[in-house]
Amino acid sequence: MIIRSKAPLRLGLAGGGTDVSPYADLHGGSILNATINMYAHTTIIPTTDGKIRLEAQDMEVVETLDSALFLEPTGKLALLKGVYNRIIKDYVKEPLSFQIYTRVDAPPGSGLGSSSTLVVSILGAFAEWCNIPLGEYDLAHLAYEIERIDLGLAGGRQDQYAATFGGFNFMEFYKDDKVIVNPLRIKQRYAAELEHNLVLFYMGTSRESAKIIEKQTQNISNSNEAAIEATHRLKVQSVRMKESILMGKIDEIGEVMHIGWESKKQMATGISNPEIDKIYDTALQNGATGGKISGAGGGGYFFFYCPRVSRTKLIKSLEPFGVEAQQYHFTREGLYTYTINE
């Protein structure tokens, strides 16, 4: 028997940071995101040897442990151990013996939600194997609890829901971890035009998003007025971008992104730096009307809105910075799991 799952990574188009506590608890947050055809993959092969073999194939990290009710969630494979522990504690109640293999189509710290998406993928594979009846909201919330509470990793709430539901979603975040996912019915030609004009670049650097998010959290907790007002503007930006996409006013998106980027930089230090600022300014001088970093900031993936026929000019203008344009497509499907009986 082989159990497989995959969950899509996402682009955070607008409102990023408003899903992070305590802002979401105090003021309510909203985010617009869309999943793309880059995935977190999981394979589970049940065994009977009393062992648990964990392998992150993209990181070339392997651990073999004795089957147990609890695995100490330390090291580079803490996400895998954290999901296993919660599955055993809440559902299975007895040790399991298996091999598990994971890989992600983007590097850690890329800003595409890779860590949370991997948790969703692992959780989905276990739910498929153990016949655990988890609905989409239940699974996404459980993934959030594993990452943020069980493992104590700083971050927001959008990634787990994006990976689980898939597609274009406008998400609302409230106190007590309440989340409402609103799938958007976007006309195909609008989505195609957005995909054509939105150019994704990999900057070749990863960043520690948790540290940036911790600074955001501190600023909100300490009533930093500038940071709070900037986050308010990002929430407004998410609503405006949703309306622009639904109504087919696609070329407004660059302007909305630019406003959002200027606001995001005021949320915490480390979101931008002189090199990123130079890349952004060069992009604006070569056809882009706006852009943003996907995720918390500091590096990873950057994307720009390039209307009409400015895409090629923009890509060439950024070549001296060593950044690489990444091909992608929007996807409509979220987490997908299946079993093969050998």
The residues with which 40 forms a beta bridge, in sequence order, are: 7, 104
Amino acid, res. 34: A
The CA angle 189-251-229, to the nearest 5 degrees, is 120
Burial 296-313 (b: 16+ CB within 10 A, else e): bbbbbbbbbbbbeebbee
Residue 242 three-state SS = helix
Torsion angle of the four alpha carbons 159, 171, 238, 254, in this order, in degrees rounded to the nearest 10 = 50
Q: Which residue has the tokens 């001088």?
A: 285
Residue 177 annotated among the catalytic residues of the structure: no
Residue from 90, 105, 138, 159 carrying the catalytic annotation? 159
Q: For the packed helices 114-130 and 78-87, what is the interaxial angle rounded to 10 degrees?
A: 40
Burial 73-91 (b: 16+ CB within 10 A, else e): beeebbbbbbbbbbbbeee
Contact call for residues 36 and 329 (beta carbons, < 8 A):
yes
Residue 62: C-alpha distances to residues 52, 201, 252 (Å): 11, 31, 47
Catalytically annotated residues: 159
